[in-house]
Copies of this chain bind each other. A is one copy, B any other.
Amino acid sequence: MARAGLTTERLAQAGAELADEVGFDQVTVSALARRFDVQVASLYSHVKSSADLKARIAVVALQELAELGAEALAGRARRDALIALANVYRDYAHEHPGRYAAARFNPASASADFLAAGGRHAEMTRAILRGYDLGEPAQTDAIRLLGSVFHGYVSLELAGSFSHSKPDSSESWPRILDALDTLLSDWTSS
């Protein structure tokens, strides 16, 4: 019997695809084994546990997102940069809901890869703020605010929380980003 050629990386990659198809929390070692037409136990040579698999999928998603973010930020500043990065997150979440959910996964103990990818994201948001020259602690406050809005808006939107009220949620988004730009431009210490 020809071998399937499993590796930890291929499993994480296939797991990411599976997440987009069936939802991140339906991603299961069993389902992944079926997808490779292989016995379930075979995966445990490549992956420590179900949680380990999910953590690896999270790293895949975080790295993809960081890549896209870096590309979007290149050559942009202030409002342009803000809008570009915000749209990277939102578009990614819409195109890859399972991966996006994976990126929000909180592993019990974070791997080095995971921490590195997390750091890249914080760094990107910080890069946006360079254009607005805020001192500390305003800068950290602003990073947290932007992270909250990006994540919060996208989560609520994907959960359907905005689909019961009138203007389509894609219309509010650019206006909210404009408001954030104004807010950052006028930020005062109190």
Q: Which residues of A are interface residues toward B (Cβ below 8 A)?
A: 25, 104, 106, 118, 122, 137-138, 140-141, 143-145, 147-153, 155-156, 159-162, 165-167, 169, 171-172, 175-176, 178-179, 182-183, 186-188, 190
Judging by beta carbons under 8 Å apart, are B166 and A140 in contact?
A: yes
Chain A contact residues: over half helix, strand or loop, or mixed?
A: helix
Q: Beyond A149-B149, A186-B182, is A176–B144 a contact (Cβ under 8 Å)?
A: yes
Copy count, this protein chain: 2
Judging by beta carbons under 8 Å apart, are B176 and A156 in contact?
A: no
Judging by beta carbons under 8 Å apart, are B167 and A140 in contact?
A: yes
Q: Beyond A147-B152, A152-B150, is A171–B106 a contact (Cβ under 8 Å)?
A: no
Judging by beta carbons under 8 Å apart, are A172 and B104 in contact?
A: no
Judging by beta carbons under 8 Å apart, are B160 and A153 in contact?
A: no
Judging by beta carbons under 8 Å apart, are A152 and B161 in contact?
A: no
